[in-house]
Amino acid sequence: MKMKPVVTNIKVDELFNFTDKVVFITGAGGVGRICAKGFGLQKARIVLFDVKDEVCEKTCSELKGLGIEAAYVTGNIAEQKSVNAAVDEVVSKYGRIDILIHTAGVTKNKVCTEHTQEDVDFVIDINLKGTIYVNQAVARVMKKQNYGKIVDIGSVGGALSHMDVTMTYEASKAGVHAIVKSFANEMAPYNINVNAIAPFWINTPFISHQPKEYFEAVQRLTPFKRCLEAEELVGAAYYLASDASNFVTGQVLFVDGGYTSVHAMSMEELGLI
């Protein structure tokens, strides 16, 4: 059994040094785009993976305009061969993958009794199977390096039923949380940390089409009274991808404004104070 190397450095700029790290990010829009920008501005080398060429091209163009080294490979996260080929292409060009930020995901909003087999397959194939496939492919590379950081995106919906009409999404994200724990256990001997971030509702195109009443209802669920902005996930991603989290693995970090832990009645809202 190999022992995990000890990190004794306590200098912030060195703990969070991403210079020249090869960061493989699934999902070139939304959260993936923001994470790419964040790590890129810390001088990491960014490689995006998405099924849509045009999304990759747009994000890469934006990143390069900021002086960030960025490239992309296209493929289908739901197809194991496609994921393996994409990872092989990255390793062929860069020689390694230091960090995986896996943000690709979908949902299908329907009453639970109305989900068709096609609906279930669509969500499970991308969110659950896709997580397995990309973690497998990247972990094989990281095992050879004897180093790596894997950060998957889970959800508050993976811990509890956060709203109706999202049964398959919640099931898939609960699976992501379980996958993280299994991978963390088996990858620990290879100095690989595997963790997840479970966000609250994020103000991205994923939900931006919803009516005003939707956002008003969501905002009442957290003590902070608003949605999460994608930029607010980057700090959590930095932490889990850095030496600062050297002894952290198999964890799900909730970035949810207290949603999963704080359910206090507001005396002020009741007009009692």
Residue 241's nearest CA partner among 199, 173, 189, 194 is 194
Four-CA torsion 98, 234, 230, 26, nearest 10 degrees:
0
What is the value of pTM for the model shown?
0.92
Tell me which H or E stretch contains 26: strand 22-26
How far are the Cα atoms of 58, 68, 135, 268 from residue 150, in angstroms, in the given order?
25, 21, 7, 42
**What does the alpha-carbon distance between residue 269 and residue 273 come to, in Å, rounded to a whole number?**
8
Residue 272 has a pLDDT of: 61
Considering the candidates 133, 169, 238, 259, report the single residue annotated as catalytic. 169
Residue 37 has a pLDDT of: 98
Residue 226 has a pLDDT of: 84
pLDDT digit string (tens) for the chain, length 273 residues: 577 889 888 899 999 999 999 999 999 999 999 999 999 999 999 999 999 999 999 999 999 999 999 999 999 999 999 999 999 999 999 999 999 999 999 988 888 889 899 999 999 999 999 999 999 999 999 999 999 999 999 998 888 877 777 889 999 999 999 999 999 999 999 999 999 999 988 887 667 667 778 778 777 888 888 888 899 999 999 999 999 999 999 999 999 888 888 765 555 665 666
For residue 227, give the 3-state DSSP assignment.
coil
The domains of the chain are located at 17-255
In this structure, what DSSP letter does residue 73 have?
A: E
Residue 77 has a pLDDT of: 98
Q: Residues 30, 59: contact at Cβ < 8 Å?
A: no
Residue 239's nearest CA partner among 228, 227, 251 is 251
- Which CATH superfamily groups domain 17-255? NAD(P)-binding Rossmann-like Domain (3.40.50.720)
Catalytic, 169? Answer yes
Residue 262 has a pLDDT of: 73
Phi, psi of 228 (to 5 degrees): -85, 135
